[in-house]
Structure formats: structure tokens, C-alpha cells
């Protein structure tokens, strides 16, 4: 089955299939009126679609790609600031009917643009609002990093699954963007933690939003249905009281230690972790868990890992590091595994009829041929081109200057590659 997204792509464009089962998508009537700088200088409402602009589709050099990324990032920054300014000022973010308030503390004196961000989720759960409010008040005073912004959000609901409902992901995306825009945060130094029900959320969000964070630390929570497979490139700490028996949390922590140890033994370049079962302590660990904050701070985000293991959660995502799947084809519990090494992309596991591979010159050398392999079969071998449209689309999707892609390959039914 070909995805609806891909069918529309076929309908709207012409595909030229080569002998190596490669195709290039071309516009029938390119518009040559603009260059990038002229397009940026045009009022936003008067700008033609970038998809129709010939400059955006032409091959560019590595140097021009980096220059274009800066230009487009700064342009999007100007557009986003007015949209997030009030949310940051009022310490309140909205997604649909859900509102997430935040408390903020600042530590240290780090240069603007290089500050850390710690997102710290409170406990509580299925309880009256005043109970969760008290947990929120406690959370803002729980940890004190050496530097950076320490932010305790208030969960938008008072349900048991405070932090792993579908509205949390876009709310955290807004929070991270606003902290970068107005708080001087480095997007490669964003950390996630949470206690009790907040620990539940850390298990879940670390797995499905791992490409946003530099490290995560789970305190006294329960993993529910989550597995650690997707944590391949996210350093993960787990702190649990030895006597924390409710919901078998202590046993689950021991199980996760075994699983993480096993995953790292099989894949020594991934699954960096630290598991502490605190002797003689129950649900409250008397601040033994504070050591995890310093542990996290030693890491920066791995933006372009050579190997990606992506396991979908019940809250589906279309992107994870340099891999992408149309949301209409994403499935809970399904996995994609791929690695990129020496200009060869090897698809190790794939469930989707349409798998998109996003690349840049941090992952490949575009001056040399690249190859795409699946199950011992070479799906593509040849040169690829960098273009401005790919850069724009990746920035528009995430507004993340640390994760910009200039090459886009589409693997169709594990049989052929188009770009």
C-alpha cells in the first residue's frame, strides 16, 4: 500500500525513474522571479510558495546550504517570536483546550544562546487539582542545577496519566522553542526529568521525543507499556527507592536495568544509562536523586547519530532524528531501524511503505556517491543534491537550528528511492 501522502506527490509531480531505481521530482513551470534573499525580503503574505521557486529546487553547495539555513532560521525566528511572546511572558502555553502553566527559576551565569533548560515534571496524578498544585509547588524547589533555566510545568489535567497524553508533546515543543527564543537556551542542552507521576512521563516522553533532549532522568516513576528500545541515542538515568513497592515500581526499575544493560551490551555505542536503586528508601529518596541532575548536565544532544532506533508510542510522531514516516502510516509499537556510515544508509528494519531519510553533510559527504541498502539489496547508488526547499521544510517542521536537513530521500515499499 502506498500512503495517501505519497499518492498526492505522484499526482502533483513527474517522476523520472532511472536504471538504479531512482527518481527526481521536478516542477513543470518553475518560477525564476526570485532568489532566496529577494524571497526573504518580500512581505510574508506576498511571498509565493517556496515549492514553486526554481532557486529552492536547484542544487546548492555545502557552503550555500549552511548560509541558506541561517537566513531561513532567522526569518522563521522573526515569525515565531510574536506567536510565543505572550506565552513566555505569561508563563502559560496553550494547545487546543489544554493550558500548561510554568514556574521558572534561573541558575548560574551562562552566555545567552548557550544556557541549559531543565524541564521538571511534578507528581500527583488522578487527584483533585489542589493536590497536583501542591506537587507543582514542590517540584520547582526540588532540583538546583549549576546553570540554566529550571522550569516546572503544571500538567494541564488532573488525570493519572498527567504527562503522557497526546497534548503534552506539542506543548513541550512550544516550551522549548520559547526558551530558545526568549531564554537564551541552547537547543542541544535541553534535559527532561520528573518525579513519581512525572517519572511516568519521563519514561514515555524520553522514548518518543528523545531527539529533543540531551539526556533524561526518571525519578520514582512507572514505565507502563513503554520499552527502552528508542533510547539508543539519549543518555537515560533511572533513580528508584529500594522499598518503593507501589505498582511494583522497584521491580520495574530492576527490569529496566537488565534491559538497558542488555541493549548496551549488544550495541556498545548506544544506550548510555545510569540506574540507581537507593537502598533503604521508599517513594521519597531523601534527595539521593539530585545526583542525576549533574549527571545529565555532562551530555549534549546527539543531533545526527549514525544509528537510529525508532519505536512508535501510542502518541504517534512523524519524525525522529533523521528518519521520517508520514503520520498517516505511523503505527503504535512498530519500529524503524537504520544506520548511516561511510555514505551508506542501511535500513535494518522498516514497517512503513513510505520511509523518508533526511540527510545533510554532517551525516554524509554529498561530494561522493551515497548508497541505500535494505536486506542485502542496493536500492540506490549515486550522487544526491542539497537544496534550499529541504532546508526550509526541516526548519518549518521543528524550528531547530541544530537539526537541519538539506537532502531528502523517499524509500517506497522498500523497493526504490525517489528524491
Structure confidence at residue 111 as a pLDDT band (50, 70, 90): confident
**pLDDT tens-digit readout, 297-335:** 999 999 999 999 999 999 999 999 999 999 999 999 999
- Residue 8 confidence (pLDDT): 37
The total number of residues written for the chain in this structure: 419
Q: What is the pLDDT of residue 10?
A: 34
pLDDT at residue 30 in the model: 57
Partnered with residue 416 across adjacent β-strands are 412
Please report how many Cα atoms fall inside a 13 Å half-sphere around the Cα of residue 231, on the Cβ side: 29
Rounded Cα gap, residues 391 and 76, in angstroms: 12
Residue predicted with more confidence, 34 or 33 = 34
How confident is the model over 276-301, as a mean pLDDT? 98
Q: Which of 108-117, 196-205, 263-272, 347-356 has the lowest mean pLDDT?
A: 108-117
Q: Which three cell numbers stand for residue 34?
A: 526570485
Q: What is the pLDDT of residue 419?
A: 84
pLDDT, position 41: 94
| 8 vs 31, more confident | 31
- As a 3-state breakdown, the chain gives helix, strand, coil percent values, each rounded to 5, of 35, 30, 40
User: Average pLDDT of the chain?
Assistant: 92
Domains and CATH numbers, the chain: 4-83+304-418 (no CATH), 94-297 (3.40.50.1820)
Q: Which pLDDT band, with edges at 50, 70 and 90, does 34 fall under? A: confident
- Once rounded to an integer, what is the mean pLDDT over residues 232-242? 98
Mean pLDDT, residues 85-98 taken together: 98
Amino acid at each position: 500500500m502506498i500512503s495517501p501522502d505519497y499518492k498526492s506527490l505522484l499526482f502533483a509531480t513527474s517522476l523520472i525513474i532511472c536504471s538504479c531505481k531512482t527518481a527526481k521530482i521536478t516542477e513543470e513551470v518553475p518560477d525564476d522571479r526570485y532568489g532566496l534573499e529577494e524571497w526573504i525580503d518580500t512581505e510574508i503574505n506576498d511571498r509565493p510558495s517556496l515549492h514553486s521557486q526554481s532557486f529552492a529546487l536547484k542544487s546548492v553547495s555545502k557552503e550555500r546550504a549552511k548560509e541558506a539555513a541561517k537566513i531561513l532560521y532567522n526569518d522563521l525566528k522573526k515569525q515565531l517570536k510574536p506567536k510565543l511572546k505572550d506565552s513566555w511572558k505569561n508563563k502559560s502555553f496553550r494547545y487546543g483546550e489544554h493550558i500548561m502553566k510554568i514556574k521558572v527559576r534561573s541558575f548560574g551565569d551562562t552566555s545567552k544562546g548557550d544556557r541549559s533548560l531543565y524541564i521538571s515534571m511534578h507528581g500527583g496524578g488522578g487527584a483533585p487539582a489542589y493536590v497536583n498544585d501542591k506537587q507543582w509547588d514542590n517540584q520547582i524547589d526540588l532540583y538546583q542545577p549549576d546553570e540554566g533555566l529550571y522550569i516546572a510545568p503544571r500538567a494541564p489535567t488532573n488525570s493519572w496519566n498527567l504527562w503522557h497524553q497526546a497534548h503534552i508533546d506539542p506543548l513541550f515543543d512550544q516550551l522549548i522553542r520559547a526558551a530558545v527564543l526568549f531564554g537564551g537556551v541552547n537547543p542541544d542542552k535541553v534535559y527532561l526529568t520528573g518525579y513519581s507521576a512525572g517519572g511516568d512521563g519521563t519514561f514515555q516522553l524520553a522514548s518518543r521525543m528523545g531527539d529533543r533532549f540531551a539526556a533524561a532522568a526518571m525519578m520514582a516513576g512507572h514505565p507502563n507499556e513503554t520499552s527502552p528500545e528508542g533510547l539508543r541515542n539519549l543518555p537515560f538515568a533511572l533513580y528508584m527507592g529500594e522499598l518503593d513497592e507501589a505498582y511494583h515500581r522497584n521491580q520495574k526499575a530492576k527490569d529496566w536495568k537488565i534491559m538497558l544493560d542488555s541493549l548496551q551490551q549488544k550495541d556498545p555505542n548506544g544506550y548510555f544509562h545510569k540506574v540507581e536503586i537507593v537502598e533503604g528508601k521508599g517513594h521519597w529518596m531523601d534527595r539521593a536523586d539530585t545526583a542525576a541532575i549533574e549527571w545529565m548536565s555532562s551530555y549534549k544532544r546527539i543531533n545526527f547519530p549514525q544509528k537510529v532506533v525508532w519505536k512508535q508510542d501510542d502518541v504517534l510522531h512523524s519524525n525522529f532524528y533523521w528518519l521520517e514516516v508520514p503520520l498517516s502510516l505511523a503505527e503504535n509499537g512498530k519500529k524503524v531501524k537504520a544506520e548511516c556510515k561511510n555514505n551508506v544508509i542501511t535500513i535494518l528494519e522498516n514497517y512503513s511503505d513510505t520511509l523518508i531519510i533526511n540527510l545533510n553533510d554532517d551525516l554524509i559527504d554529498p561530494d561522493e556517491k551515497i548508497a541505500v541498502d535494505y536486506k542485502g539489496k542496493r536500492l540506490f547508488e549515486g550522487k544526491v543534491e542539497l537544496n534550499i526547499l529541504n532546508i526550509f521544510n526541516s526548519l518549518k517542521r521543528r524550528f531547530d537550528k541544530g537539526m537541519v536537513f538539506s537532502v531528502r530521500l523517499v524509500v517506497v515499499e522498500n523497493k526504490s528511492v525517489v528524491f
